[in-house]
Structure 1
Amino acid sequence: MSRPALPELLRDRPFRRYWAAQSVSLLGDEVHRIALPLAAVLLLGAGAGDMGLLTAAALLPALLFSIPAGAWADRRRSRRRAMIAADLGRMLAVASVPVAYALDALTLTHLYAAAFAVGTLGALFNVCAGTVYVALLPVERYVQGSSLLNGSRALAFTAGPGVGGGLVQVATAPFALLLDALSYLVSALFLGRISPAEPPPAAREKSRATAGIRWILRTPAVRACAAATATLNFFNFIFQALFVLYATGELGLGPGLLGLVLGAGGVGGLAGAVLAHRVVARYGVGPAMTAGFAGFSVPLTLIPLADGPTPVVAGMLLAAEFASAFGVMILDISANAYFAAAIPDELRSRVLGAFQTVNFGVRPLGALAGGALGSALGLRPTLWVATVGAALAVLWLLPSPVPGMRRLPGAEGEAAGAGTA
């Protein structure tokens, strides 16, 4: 009996170990994201205000520290070692929760500190990962590699909450968090078994922390992507803040049916991850990115449009979630491959840190705007604002070089396609 064929890139041992580290770390992130709040509620009786603080503690580090973390990482000789240190730090932060519980010393302040530490170290891990990635692969394999990594992300997004919730249900929140901590240790062990030839550290500069921002602003294709991403995320988090309330309150979906709808997003994401390489190969990286922005946002207009009998409403929501998740995978895979090829090595962590700040910084603003607009306008009108606003994000790309880019920068001698302004 023949063995199932591995994807070509996973036959490459160093990349396979990097992919395994990323995959395990992503699963740990998703388990942690549900297990820590459940620990707050089940062990400490946290209320709505406490949960808001816990959510803010997890989100703030990406906004506050991505740019300085990128500047620090670009001056390091080994970003891989920084990723290992970040994994080990996250392991200790998460493991401190069940230890404190066992000692009868667990408090909400401890959970806030653990969430903040995990978020801070996650920001460092993410800005370093791009440098290690490009050190492992030639440019013509960036799309394939991005497909595998984003497939893991989609699988973690689909399975992680269920795994985390199941572990809490079966083994209690402290034990679930202990297993979650071990996932970061496994990630560190995989990273410890690769030794890519990383680019040399960047020279000291007076304005080193802002160099990534300045590069984005003077690179038209990346500048347009940053503006489109900020617009998309702002309006999408207006949507996210109200979707569950709208689906259960106005549309009358029960928890089981809502879970089925959200599960369709995971299936769509996996399908997008599998097919993204073919889409990019056939249409080009720029058209794929442009279609991904539209494919992520436009299907969600079906949700405020949904009306009628429950089967019809559920079908419209299933279609919206599936198509949107498919679109976001096409977007993420093509955009990640483009950034990997276009960003100069000496600026990579700083650019990724600046982009991560844009990516995450508008999310809490969108959520706050969603709450305010939902109270003032009502749920359905606010969801129309959110979905139409997100769909308009693609307009930032149309006058930019992005729609015309066919190949990755550096592939077969093509220029960056980004230019400078």
Structure 2
Amino acid sequence: MTDGTAARSLWANGPFLRLWSGQTASAIGSQLSNLAIPVLAVSVLSASSFQVGLLGAVETAAFLVIGLPAGAWVDRWLKRRVMLFADLTRAIVLLAIPVLWFAGILNIWQLIVVAGLAGAATVFFEVAYQSYIPVLVPAGALAEANSRLETTQQLARVGGPAISGALLAVVRPAILIAGDALSYLLSFVVLSTIRDEEVRAARAERRPLVAEIREGMAFVLNEPLLRRIVLCTAVGNFFSTLTTTMLPVLVLRELHVGVAAWGVALSVGAVGGLLGALFSARIARRIGEGTVIPLSALGLGLGLLLLGLMPLAPHAAVPILVIAEFLVSFTVLIYNIAQVTFRQRICPRPLLGRMNASIRFVVWGVMPIAGIVSGLLSTAVGVVATVWIGGIGSTAACVFVLFSPLLGMRELPSEATVEPS
């Protein structure tokens, strides 16, 4: 299917358009919480560096704890229903934050519990979401579909932080989080209108849960290119989490950058993500579907390294933050669209949930560990040193794909090289 044909087919695909609109709503809402939660923790609840690290850890801990069985369960269940349940759960638990705040009893530990519960629901949503796209979209249109969904995400990131920063000047962070909860409710309503042809897996075809989990992990480990990508992503995520977990402390507490200025910097930087989403397919065609993966991984690491320069030039902290966020957003979107499309393309449909869950277990499972390490490391050697360690490690992670057959590869494979067992 040509790019033009794929684009036309998506505009005529009603279920995909509904999915797209629902995710647009939740993407906009998420930008409210992404800034409001760390501001609430650091500036309102006076959380310590370790508590900030723990907060960041529990947000993704569920991928480590329940990520693998979630994939097997999603393959057994109807994916749209899983997404509906996850949206409703996230809306309910996030609404607890403004309720507790109005009651005058909100503390950092309650915020951590809410983050953990929302993170558990996100595990199921994310695994089902990436496995649901191939249900609605033909294989030839997957790259275009992923590009559109990521473009919307980046549009939200462009305006979201600046709007959130401005709102936080007049509205309490807890109130802003309620807006995110409402966006999940809106996504729930839109998803409930989608009709698809997915059929629940027959009970007779099920095997023991452990065997099904093993099958999904085996597929990931036995595909040579996919294995390299997963290693690069996992190591990169670990070290980038060291940096991003401490970024609110560095910006707000160490460098005394105002919340509004931070929000504007993030919004301007997010323009890079928008451009990455819009031009990812064109860039991949120009330099190669395989080549774009290692080069974007290298660019991502260099962008995170730039954040370590802010304490060295505090008067230029905001411009440096803008440039770093631009480069990180641009490269991570190109990287993600390329590798997600690749794995959706080569994975048999019955394995999609387990494949996605296996990858998320590895690449997101390291993040809660890194969040705790970030808190401990910043306590031991300082916030600035932790940010530098994260940047150096993120840059080094690209070696898994930079020194591989991916570099110079014009087209990625369209089917698995190893048949699933």
TM-score with structure 2 length normalisation? 0.82
Output one character per residue of 1:48-67: Cα deviation in whole Å (capped at 9) or x when no partner.
36655544443322221221
Distance 1:348 1:253, change over 3 A: same
Structure 1 residue 109: deviation in Å? 5.8
- Please give the alpha-carbon distance, in whole angstroms, between the structure 2 residues aligned to 1:23 and 1:70: 24
- 1:250-261, aligned counterparts within 5 Å? 254-255=257-258, 259-261=263-265
Structure 1 residue 79: deviation in Å? 0.6
Output one character per residue of 1:183-221: Cα deviation in whole Å (capped at 9) or x when no partner.
111111211222233365273223223332222111111
The SS at the match of 1:403 is coil
Distance 1:120 1:141, change over 3 A: same
In structure 2, runs of 5+ residues without a counterpart are 1-6
TM-score with structure 1 length normalisation? 0.82
- 1:8-407, aligned counterparts within 5 Å? 8=8, 9-10=10-11, 12-36=13-37, 45=45, 47-48=47-48, 53-76=54-77, 78-99=78-99, 110-167=110-167, 169-173=169-173, 175-198=175-198, 201=201, 203-206=205-208, 207-243=211-247, 254-255=257-258, 259-304=263-308, 315-370=319-374, 383-398=387-402, 400-403=404-407, 405-407=409-411
C-alpha contact (below 8 Å) 1:401/1:417 kept by paired residues? no
Output one character per residue of 1:360-408: Cα deviation in whole Å (capped at 9) or x when no partner.
2222333444455556666666555433322222221245443365445
Aligned-residue sequence identity (percent) comes to 30
- Please give the alpha-carbon distance, in whole angstroms, between the structure 2 residues aligned to 1:211 and 1:387: 34
- Please give the alpha-carbon distance, in whole angstroms, between the structure 1 residues aligned to 2:318 and 2:39: 28
Which piece of structure 1 moves more, 327-336 or 380-389? 380-389
Root-mean-square deviation (CA, aligned residues, Å) is 3.5
- Please give the alpha-carbon distance, in whole angstroms, between the structure 2 residues aligned to 1:352 and 1:174: 33
- Please give the alpha-carbon distance, in whole angstroms, between the structure 2 residues aligned to 1:285 and 1:293: 13
Distance 1:417 1:286, change over 3 A: farther
Aligned length: 408
Structure 1 residue 161: deviation in Å? 4.0
C-alpha contact (below 8 Å) 1:200/1:346 kept by paired residues? no
C-alpha contact (below 8 Å) 2:307/2:324 kept by paired residues? yes
The SS at the match of 2:297 is helix
C-alpha contact (below 8 Å) 2:147/2:280 kept by paired residues? yes
One-letter code aligned to 2:328: S
The SS at the match of 2:398 is helix
One-letter code aligned to 2:278: V
C-alpha contact (below 8 Å) 2:215/2:420 kept by paired residues? no
Which piece of structure 1 moves more, 25-34 or 64-73? 25-34
